[in-house]
Structure 1
């Protein structure tokens, strides 16, 4: 059993909470810009004093409305300045933030609001409000009595509501939480239909950010440092960057629509970004396509190869003159344009959520944007390991953060222990016991290895959760069950791990097909009807029903109907008729690959 520990380098406070940063910044650097928010006229600076005042006003409104210390307050919104403002206001009120993806389905909204016992929810606009109202009509949300909408001036209304709450009352409530108290419950996909709520404490965040921003000092402490967050703040990855930026007083901007991302990057010009691999893939592929369209495809290909050669030479600590010369040439012709797509000033990017791939890592480092790949889970408040500017090994996810230990179990599973490991799952002791052993080791479900220098490499997955290149965790179980619920469907295998979207393989129930064929003019054999409109339409209906239970990012976008049947005799099913996922995936590798051909 292999084990590697990184010694702790800082002292983590044993008192206080995440709101202390906002209070201290207002006192010590009141006029320093900590946010840049988009308004009608462009970008508007928000100082530490202004942010503190807005947070206090909103928190007072929550208290006046009846939100008590420890209450859960849900937020359903795209990534925007108000999301961050609400997050800190909830903490100032001594409450617990429950984030939901803005694309969450009515079923997901109902489950999370019910399971968390949310007393209040703030939504972004009419669509989100309609989902909450529909969930309320189910009769299972008796604890939810307070609902506000940002589009209906929620912040202004809360500000007016809280005018009679004194500063002393707010300060007593703000100081209620300790490092042991809950800061947020983040719901993540599980192997069952219902998402599980990860309980993350103020102490979890304080540990995680205390060591992360220290180790990434070159990224966060640059005098011109700034960052733009565009990933969903419902994901712990984006929340960590948010809290880290606030902690280090790094100006933070928000981009709420991927269609506006290019313009936002150009306007904000961040020095570092966090993103999932899909973003880097899109940036590179777009640049390649533009070069090809302009008749410079071969030039771009040579430039990409030169960037890889330069990056690999950096690992050898010796860059040949020829490689340096090539890079200098291509920097003017090609690389500068790719950097401009990221705003022009970006030197570092932090990647997580899915594997980046060595080639892409070398390409971006070669063009002047070092992508620091890390690894973590919602259950670990984000990062457990990360590559650093001074300790970087492309193809790995870095070494454990200070105060963190990794262990490779006998079966190859990666186990971690550290102050960022969560307190357990909300209302689910059984799931907690499965994830956390009595000695405090977090069982990740991922298989990996640790080299002699402590760098961790992920080599596989023990759990069935799929992770798209966009970093979205998707549980296939619910989708498969819903598709199989259709009479015509025999089995369904949902795929998409390491792919840009979710797809599915579907087999047909022979008896049901025979009945349909007798009345609809379908061919006698399934193999002759795979592309027949009647059959395709029926399967599409099953897929549409399944997609109604999940968010858009989790939805099945493409499927293929197979002529084969999956049976125990054929080796695809167990004696208890469970699908042998690895067998089916291996046998239908070509069909799966075809799903992702464009």
Structure 2
């Protein structure tokens, strides 16, 4: 007689079910030594081993006094231990509060205090030292866990534990209380709090988004169902997929990508070192990867620069292959291009000679990429699609528990972010703002009912702040950010995010563009360039010096002017970039100019570079 598998009423139960269903299948692959480069070896864990570690960590947290729905804050870089601790919090019935490791101390103080976190997990001794002044003001945090390395010698041994200490303590406690994990999981309902994610915020103080288990369970089911809805299983996720996960797990999308594999059972290669993405891809050979647009922009720019720097036949062949393959992709997915039999024959040759080699740089097994968190330029999407690696754009907010819509291979159209997920409704109001309603909506902002009421109306519609339109097939296209839309002194509206995304698709050496013009008589821009691409360009063109000198050179100014001129050809008169400044450095997370999820903090940038902006309008 067999016992039926309990239906998941929580993400914790979902993980238990997975460990029971496929205990011996690989769940995770991860670097054996984070201080070593790729090639130094990878370790792995099965689902049974994940269950074992999560149970021990949960028991350890319970032994420290963690009560159901109490918060555990994790302030660390993406790694296998981050994932395991999060699963441990789930098993203990607690709620995870995610904190970017780069968050400034003032905001960390607010997040920990506002969330009422009882335990804090930090990366290492250096992170602990940086947050020690914050912890001195937060007596409600009774324990700190250090994920990697030893506990500092001067730390209180009763309140500061290493990851190994917590595991060992948990195994002892679990041995003496073998029912404790099952009891905690059985007590959970879909409405219990699972996660509090503080919006990194492009302006103002972060707000804590409360996400109960039901929102995650809905998201997982909806994404998996949507992916399986097309013909010939073209998008279906299976146990044979392999995800490459480097996204910040403090971000709602990263957290979702920890849970979808639990539902489906496929393996995840996890390594949060962003500097290793290019090196890891051909080693891991994933079937899909989720990323914000910046990674795709940088990858496109890198390949383009490398091919063009080769010059001669190689550069010409690459340009031709990119053009014809992009045209075929556009023609096959609702774009403006047409495809004659002759063009299709050319594209087959181009794929064999060029694009097949490009795919190998990404591991050679990509079924599709998924892009989220910001707008992706359609031309970059067309190039990747033409190379045989379709980028499916998704859309959502932290407040909607990640995805609300997702493009699929069978209804793909460049520039569109897909139709709403099953169960989610979308419409636009009279101002063109996108409104969403469905099971994935947050419970509200923690300790902030006024902000909750401002975002979710009495009929349950969540006001996203994004402007867009919906086509006859239900696909959504973003046209700008409501709060970022500005008006020139001539009374013309400009959507800066659209222009900025277009420029990144045109200029392969770009990093950031910040469009300026609010209440000004013309539109201008601050431009930063990618250091690797700029260095490569300088070597090819005989321009000597460090990065700041190169970008200030007349030669570089001429190159960027050419890209700006190309951009302007596709803009309305009032949108055209009349003046621009090439910045001597890139925007950084550390300076709070971009968020950890790589979104632009426009207000901070305009404050930091006020003199440069003033010079444009002098």
Q: Which TM-score tier does this pair reach, normalised by the shorter chain? A: 0.7 to 0.9
Tell me the TM-score normalized by structure 1.
Answer: 0.77
Residue 282 (1) aligns with residue 298 (2): yes
Among 153, 156, 166, the alignment partner of 1:158 is 166
Residue 227 (1) aligns with residue 251 (2): no
Please report how far the alpha carbon of residue 326 of structure 1 lies from its aligned counterpart in structure 2 after TM superposition. Answer: 1.7
Question: Once structures 1 and 2 are overlaid, which stretch shifts more, 64-73 or 388-397?
Answer: 388-397
Residues 198 and 326 of structure 1, relative CA distance in 2, 3 Å threshold: same
Aligned partner of 1:353 in structure 2 is 373
Residues 428 and 287 of structure 1, relative CA distance in 2, 3 Å threshold: same
Deviations 1:150-170 (A, max 9, x none): 124633211221212322012
Aligned partner of 1:39 in structure 2 is 32
Aligned partner of 1:181 in structure 2 is 192
Residues 236 and 441 of structure 1, relative CA distance in 2, 3 Å threshold: same
CA distance in 1, matches of 2:310, 2:525: 36
Deviations 1:296-353 (A, max 9, x none): 3232221111121111221369853222222222223321232122222112011111
Residues 332 and 246 of structure 1, relative CA distance in 2, 3 Å threshold: same
Residues 498 and 440 of structure 1, relative CA distance in 2, 3 Å threshold: farther
Deviations 1:369-421 (A, max 9, x none): 01111111000001111111222122111111111111211111111000001
Aligned partner of 2:126 in structure 1 is 127
SS at 1:410 equivalent: coil
Residue 205 (1) aligns with residue 205 (2): no
Residue 169 (1) aligns with residue 180 (2): yes
CA contact (8 A) 1:108 1:549 kept: no
Aligned partner of 2:107 in structure 1 is 108
Among 117, 140, 143, the alignment partner of 1:143 is 140
Residues 494 and 78 of structure 1, relative CA distance in 2, 3 Å threshold: farther
CA distance in 1, matches of 2:309, 2:530: 23
Please report how far the alpha carbon of residue 14 of structure 1 lies from its aligned counterpart in structure 2 after TM superposition. Answer: 8.7
- Unmatched runs of 5 consecutive residues or more in structure 1: 1-12, 477-492, 502-539, 566-586, 592-598
Residue 80 (1) aligns with residue 79 (2): yes
Residues 371 and 427 of structure 1, relative CA distance in 2, 3 Å threshold: same
Please report how far the alpha carbon of residue 294 of structure 1 lies from its aligned counterpart in structure 2 after TM superposition. Answer: 1.3
Please report how far the alpha carbon of residue 559 of structure 1 lies from its aligned counterpart in structure 2 after TM superposition. Answer: 2.7
Deviations 1:221-279 (A, max 9, x none): 34531111111111111111221122111100112212211222122110011011111
CA contact (8 A) 1:73 1:118 kept: yes
Aligned partner of 1:297 in structure 2 is 315
RMSD: 3.3
Residues 564 and 20 of structure 1, relative CA distance in 2, 3 Å threshold: closer
Aligned partner of 1:534 in structure 2 is none
Aligned partner of 1:463 in structure 2 is 483
Residues 208 and 190 of structure 1, relative CA distance in 2, 3 Å threshold: same
CA contact (8 A) 1:14 1:179 kept: no
CA distance in 1, matches of 2:188, 2:105: 32
Question: Once structures 1 and 2 are overlaid, which stretch shifts more, 163-172 or 149-158?
Answer: 149-158
Please report how far the alpha carbon of residue 102 of structure 1 lies from its aligned counterpart in structure 2 after TM superposition. Answer: 1.4
Aligned partner of 2:609 in structure 1 is 559
CA distance in 2, matches of 1:264, 1:346: 13
CA distance in 2, matches of 1:551, 1:350: 20
Larger relative contact order (CA 8 Å, sep ≥ 6)? 1
CA contact (8 A) 1:364 1:370 kept: yes
Tell me the TM-score normalized by structure 2.
Answer: 0.74
